[in-house]
Structure 1
Amino acid sequence: MKRDLFDYPVQYVKGIGPKKARLLARLGIKSVHDALYYLPYRYEDRRFSPDIRSLRYETLQTVTGKVLSAHLVETTRGRMKIFEAVISDGTATLTAKWFNQPFMKKLIRPGISVVLSGVVKRSFIWGVGYEMHNPEYEIVDNDAQGENIHTSRIVPVYRTTAGMSTRTIRAAMFSILNHARENIIDYMPEDILKRNRLPSLKVAIENVHFPDYDNLEELQRGISPYHRRLSFDELFVLQTGLAIMKRAQSYTKGISFSAKGELIKKLIEKLPFELTSAQKRVIKEILSDMKSPRAMNRLVQGDVGSGKTIVAFSAMLQAIESGYQAALMAPTEILAEQHYMNLHGLIESMGLKSALLTGSRKEKPLEEISSGEIDIVIGTHALIQKGVKFKRLGLVVIDEQHRFGVMQRALLRKKGINPDVLVMTATPIPRTLSLTLYGDLDYSVIDELPPNRKAVITKLYRPEQKSLIYSFIRSEVKKGRQAYVVYPVIEESEKLTLKDAIQGKERLERVFPEFRIGLIHGRMKPHEREEIMNRFKEGNIDILVSTTVIEVGVDVPNATLMLIVHAERFGLSQLHQLRGRVGRGADQSYCLLLAYGRLSEEASRRLQVMVRYTDGFRVAEEDFNIRGPGELFGTKQSGMPDLKVANLLRDARLLEIARKEAFRIVQEDPELIKHPRLRSIVERFWKDRLEIFRTG
């Protein structure tokens, strides 16, 4: 596509002007290119025009007729002006009414022919006859644009903004498309179009906006050949960028870790359990990468409790044995603390040194890190700050949890001389999303849980069933087990009537005076949280009341019961994470979901998914189905470009095809020298994001 389409302001298109341009800008439409990719969100079929006498009430219909009369009516109090036009097609008459649109009298006059489209109403006055209120209209005799765009066809419907009706936007789109039509130049290689039976870009854009296509259902679902072409383009350009990154990384000289694996053997001997075959397989894949002279970029996926941390720790030991330091970056201070608490003892028992580095922690062992005295540094974003220098950073492990993007990964990489990068996800991700968020990484899956683990039984309760919940907690704790009770907020909010953790602890102390009840939340100081968690691990607390700070990384095998209060307020991923805190021992574990109030359809679906499924990969797929990809893992914060046309849920198969084509073209033409138009589009789409990988 010619570059000027990207930049040409819509204001200068004939029929738009400054006023409409300002309104279009509210919709994100500033340039002609913006307009062409502002797609209709639905379509209406206005092709068929039945006789007026056969119209059905309360249905959207299109009629054609001659105007018999037209006049302006003022209501008795003069607050509203109604323009009325009576039209006839020879079989019956219909009254069209436009409210507070007096300018209509200049447009619709007796004697002209019109096409009207709207919902058919029963006449207020006689109870018989037909009316339409504020119908779309087209003047047949004198259509200024020479073509029906509002009626007598499949009509696009756009999302609107204040001061701009869908009719106005439709007319604006028609003008812009007419202006741009001859400048739409295809950048997609011809062989790709032929291989995948895709129409030209010009034909696709024309037909997405003003379809000359009979399959209304395909248009509505966004799967017509024209939608498919535009979705393919977006996914192809996205994957081309990822392919360029991946290729650049594969040529980036990394560290060839030469250790024999003695520390890993020592670790395995110390573990009170045997690694699963999936853990062993993934460790082998990681060690193979680390031995290679190219920099490792690998994503490790696994369900809650599948043992990702031990896999990552094995990689760290390989780096340390080879004479390098390792860093583990977590998205929150609390998670960093929990990783530190869980690994610190194991690290020390192997004669190694570790440090915790977070923003709020006063003691920052910067000298020990820069001197190489510290083997493993565990921290948050603080690890990528300017003052932090490593002596020999060889491996970076990122506990991604969908909160770090490609930019943060690149910045941390710059802390060492091309250290290897291992990314762990806290919950599984549907394949389509992982190919997008992590398409530049190699991919390992720990698809097996440790043996003798029983699936957690999940039940849904309502407030009137609290006595059942309390009886269940009492029976479990009396068996010597421990329980979590999780609340969504820390202190009572005036706006939200949520049960807060502090009041919850007081309430539970009254219900269970015989049990020891503890409290942990995000506003506590790190050493206070550490003390509470240690007491719980040692069995000195029976019931731990908590906010979501125990979401990830806490491992107490004796805890068999999780009660989540106001479960309707949590997302599926978070609910599954919380449930993962129980079921870590040999005893049967339970997750009780207590939901308040009238549940929205989405909240109800989330809770039913929790009750039905325990497999994290299935939960992730269902979450993807319920919420869609956009907000599911915060793609906007991930450093990934936005997808305006493609839908990862709908276009999963198309994504796979686009990825293959993108990787093929980058393999053949790495710098896209032979494809200058495509190169320009890729750079536009990715902006400066690719540059960081070229220099990193």
Structure 2
Amino acid sequence: MSQSVTSLQGVGKQTAAQLATLGISTVDDVLFHLPARYEDRSRLTAIKDLNVGEQALVEGMITAAEVKITKRRTLVCMLTDDTGGIILRFFHFSYAQQQQFQVGTRVRCFAEARQGYHCLEFIHPECQFIREDKPAPEIHAQLTPIYPSSGTLHQHLLRSLARQALQNLVLIDPFPPTIQAQFQLLPLAQALQTLHAPPVTVSTADLQAGQHPAQRRLIIEELLAHYLSLRRLRQQAQTYQAVPLPAEHALNSLFLKNLPFQLTHAQQRVSAEIAHDLQQTHPMQRLIQGDVGSGKTVVAALSALSAIAAGYQVAVMSPTELLAEQHFRNFNQWLAPLKINITWLTGSVSKKQREQALNALATGESALAIGTHALFQEAVTFQRLALVIIDEQHRFGVEQRMALRDKGAQANFHPHQLIMTATPIPRTLAMTLYADLDISVIDELPAGRLPIKTVVIPNTRRAEIIERIRQVCQTGRQAYWVCTLIDESDALQYQAAEETARQLTENLTELRIGLVHGRLKAKEKEGMMQAFKRGELDLLVATTVIEVGVDVPNASLMIIENAERLGLAQLHQLRGRVGRGVVDSHCVLLYQSPLSEIARTRLGILRDTQDGFVIAQQDLSLRGFGDVLGTRQTGTMRLRIADFQRDEGLLPTVVEIAELLLKDYPETIQPIIERWVRVQGEELVS
């Protein structure tokens, strides 16, 4: 057990409380609180040799100091050496700090040189005061670490604690020597010593890029900890019992017979994988990845029938009411002929409807529940829940997913879980992020789907686009016009969509135009969508609420206004609302000049490809891991040193080491998990 951080010199109750906000409560925590960056203070620079934008260490004498009061109170000092002078400027200082900068005082300062009015300046430099009765402080032979801090803890203290922790290092290296040798991993103690006090010969470029062997050692261990923790979740789930559900039954055959289309080979393959899982006596934990329009919902419906045919209940949870409404319509269309009772439950249903829904689920009268997060609220009980289906799972936290699973736990029985996402994730990354799940991929679009032709057009050609809508709608086809804003508030989205709808109505007087936005009541939104689906509207103006769940085969034109403001994944989802019929479809990405370089790249990628996996990979590169993959990952994997995007190439090594540890060194697994997988402290700054 690691000693308390209070055992280190300089840590009292108040400092311990401040360290706790960084997740530091033990000496081991100090060791794994790694520098965010490094500074080279290994040599003194003459003031005349300073360059704007460069960080440097200088030493000189204070030749002038005064407090100036203009717009803000500022302490301004002149520091000179034999070669020249530089201004030291402080905006935040106490009286005691001011008194330290007396004329004649010798000071060593480190900061970034900036161009001032008359000469170069240091803004809030880090200072050491040199006294005549004491020897000058040594110039560090190592790079100086800069640690993540909450802002109340000084870097001097964090460096002191790291030095003390390294001097008393008693950590056990969890990797056996054979593993270290096989994968060329530095010993733990050497890696920590290098990262907290790197020699000046170490490449700062490698350190900043996360490429140094010392970082690689800890990155692999941290990724391994998260991978093993998910594998453990999977093993734990397999110790639960589940109701085995039949693969073949009358409902299955009748459902497939009534479908107006045939399942693709990919849908058949994934359905068979799910059917195999559902026959087991432990809960299925399967993720379906499928691009926009690949037909995940049909596969989910087929899976639900296995539970319903055996006399059990199914819950289908979606992140938004619009997507839940779409599922309700689809399931109702497919299952109503089979006399299956479906319950609808979201936060917006009336009190009476809610009471009826709760009663139907509690008594078993309803075999299928479709809704939003309202499904896992405390008041909701199921009589015999055997299967949970979660769509767009990355928008839910793990806790929400587990809460719905626990709804069906009776005695030692747990429901099967089927999880769906239209956000494709590269295979190696998915294997690591979803190590607690089996993964199926629907990698084939339904027959007859034609590619969507995508063009990128400036907003100055808006009149041409409006005329194009007129032509398309006059042929009997329908179109979407999607409004986006930087501020995603419902109020501003609504205003933008309403104004756009007004302008289009004035210009397209012969067309029937509808409006959908987040402020509409569920019934109004549903009515408008149904009118569009029935062909009673030619053009639907909408906010991004239609990103998922809308299926209108007759719609063949999508206009996305201010497309430069959206991420690749969201643009790809929106584009997927067209191209669902058997005619050529088009997507127009309307942008406002000037375009940033990243926006230009993003729109170019979308124009050039429709492959969801390619788009997801590019989105990861442009936006980063947390933004793309959402709450499930960012809520459970708060990484300290690893970065899934940067370190994706290490994941095969992580999986290989994990398999060896699970097989030959199982006693090492718990210490690795405990070291890295835990709740972190406050948001850090450096």
TM-score range, shorter chain: 0.7 to 0.9
Range moving further from structure 2, 342-351 or 190-199: 190-199
CA deviations on 1:111-160 (whole Å, 9 max, x unpaired) are xxx876555689987x9xx98776656689999897534xx643334466
CA deviations on 1:578-625 (whole Å, 9 max, x unpaired) are 111001112111112223465555444433332233221112111111
Indicate how the Cα distance of structure 1 residues 460 and 499 shifts in structure 2: closer, same or farther if over 3 A, else same.
farther
Indicate how the Cα distance of structure 1 residues 507 and 261 shifts in structure 2: closer, same or farther if over 3 A, else same.
same
- Mapping 1:188-587, distance limit 5 Å: 188-190=174-176, 191-212=178-199, 213-362=201-350, 363=353, 364-416=356-408, 417-431=413-427, 434-435=430-431, 437-488=433-484, 500-587=496-583
Amino acid at match of 1:207: T
CA deviations on 1:616-638 (whole Å, 9 max, x unpaired) are 11121111111211232333786
Separation (CA, whole Å) in 2 of partners of 1:492 and 1:658: 39
- CA deviation after TM superposition for structure 1 residue 219, in Å: 0.6
Residue 85 of structure 2 corresponds to: 95
- Name stretches of at least 5 consecutive residues in structure 1 with no aligned partner: 688-696
- CA deviation after TM superposition for structure 1 residue 560, in Å: 0.5
Instruction: Tell me how many residue pairs correspond in the alignment.
Output: 661
- CA deviation after TM superposition for structure 1 residue 512, in Å: 0.7
Match of 1:632 among 623, 628, 641: 628
Indicate how the Cα distance of structure 1 residues 387 and 196 shifts in structure 2: closer, same or farther if over 3 A, else same.
same
CA deviations on 1:5-38 (whole Å, 9 max, x unpaired) are xx525xx743566777777677666665555444
- CA deviation after TM superposition for structure 1 residue 340, in Å: 0.4
- CA deviation after TM superposition for structure 1 residue 177, in Å: 0.8
Amino acid at match of 1:313: A
Range moving further from structure 2, 655-664 or 491-500: 491-500
Separation (CA, whole Å) in 1 of partners of 2:312 and 2:9: 64
Indicate how the Cα distance of structure 1 residues 49 and 3 shifts in structure 2: closer, same or farther if over 3 A, else same.
closer
Indicate how the Cα distance of structure 1 residues 308 and 72 shifts in structure 2: closer, same or farther if over 3 A, else same.
same
Conserved in 2, the CA contact under 8 Å of 1:263 and 1:321?
Answer: yes
Separation (CA, whole Å) in 1 of partners of 2:145 and 2:677: 31
Residue 78 of structure 2 corresponds to: 84
Match of 1:58 among 52, 56, 81: 52
Instruction: Give the alignment's Cα RMSD to 1 decimal.
Output: 3.7
3-state DSSP of counterpart to 1:645: coil
Residue 693 of structure 1 corresponds to: none
2:179 is equivalent to residue 185 of structure 1: no
Match of 2:9 among 6, 10, 14: 14
With the length of structure 1 as denominator, give the TM-score of the two structures.
0.84
Separation (CA, whole Å) in 2 of partners of 1:76 and 1:246: 64
3-state DSSP of counterpart to 1:609: helix
- CA deviation after TM superposition for structure 1 residue 162, in Å: 5.8
Separation (CA, whole Å) in 1 of partners of 2:485 and 2:69: 53
Residue 36 of structure 2 corresponds to: 41
CA deviations on 1:342-382 (whole Å, 9 max, x unpaired) are 22011012232222122221313233323333222211222
With the length of structure 2 as denominator, give the TM-score of the two structures.
0.85
Separation (CA, whole Å) in 2 of partners of 1:333 and 1:133: 52
Separation (CA, whole Å) in 2 of partners of 1:491 and 1:220: 33
Conserved in 1, the CA contact under 8 Å of 2:483 and 2:561?
Answer: yes
Amino acid at match of 1:98: L
Amino acid at match of 1:40: P
Separation (CA, whole Å) in 2 of partners of 1:408 and 1:669: 34
3-state DSSP of counterpart to 1:334: helix
Residue 694 of structure 1 corresponds to: none
- CA deviation after TM superposition for structure 1 residue 105, in Å: 4.5
Conserved in 1, the CA contact under 8 Å of 2:307 and 2:314?
Answer: yes
- Name stretches of at least 5 consecutive residues in structure 2 with no aligned partner: 91-96, 682-686
Residue 651 of structure 1 corresponds to: 647
CA deviations on 1:641-666 (whole Å, 9 max, x unpaired) are 41121100011122332234335434
2:2 is equivalent to residue 3 of structure 1: yes
Conserved in 2, the CA contact under 8 Å of 1:563 and 1:591?
Answer: yes
- CA deviation after TM superposition for structure 1 residue 535, in Å: 2.0
Residue 690 of structure 1 corresponds to: none
Higher relative contact order (CA 8 A, sep 6+): 2
- CA deviation after TM superposition for structure 1 residue 97, in Å: 3.5
3-state DSSP of counterpart to 1:414: helix
Range moving further from structure 2, 596-605 or 208-217: 596-605
Indicate how the Cα distance of structure 1 residues 328 and 494 shifts in structure 2: closer, same or farther if over 3 A, else same.
closer
2:64 is equivalent to residue 72 of structure 1: yes
- CA deviation after TM superposition for structure 1 residue 300, in Å: 0.2
Conserved in 2, the CA contact under 8 Å of 1:246 and 1:440?
Answer: yes
2:675 is equivalent to residue 681 of structure 1: yes
Amino acid at match of 1:41: A
Match of 2:143 among 151, 154, 160: 154
3-state DSSP of counterpart to 1:451: coil
Indicate how the Cα distance of structure 1 residues 27 and 607 shifts in structure 2: closer, same or farther if over 3 A, else same.
farther
Indicate how the Cα distance of structure 1 residues 497 and 255 shifts in structure 2: closer, same or farther if over 3 A, else same.
closer
Separation (CA, whole Å) in 1 of partners of 2:247 and 2:84: 86
Range moving further from structure 2, 475-484 or 355-364: 355-364
Separation (CA, whole Å) in 1 of partners of 2:133 and 2:436: 56
Conserved in 1, the CA contact under 8 Å of 2:225 and 2:677?
Answer: no
Residue 684 of structure 2 corresponds to: none
Conserved in 2, the CA contact under 8 Å of 1:398 and 1:424?
Answer: yes
- CA deviation after TM superposition for structure 1 residue 418, in Å: 1.4
Conserved in 1, the CA contact under 8 Å of 2:255 and 2:335?
Answer: no
Separation (CA, whole Å) in 2 of partners of 1:56 and 1:72: 20
CA deviations on 1:87-115 (whole Å, 9 max, x unpaired) are 34xxxx232432357555479856xxx87
Amino acid at match of 1:367: N
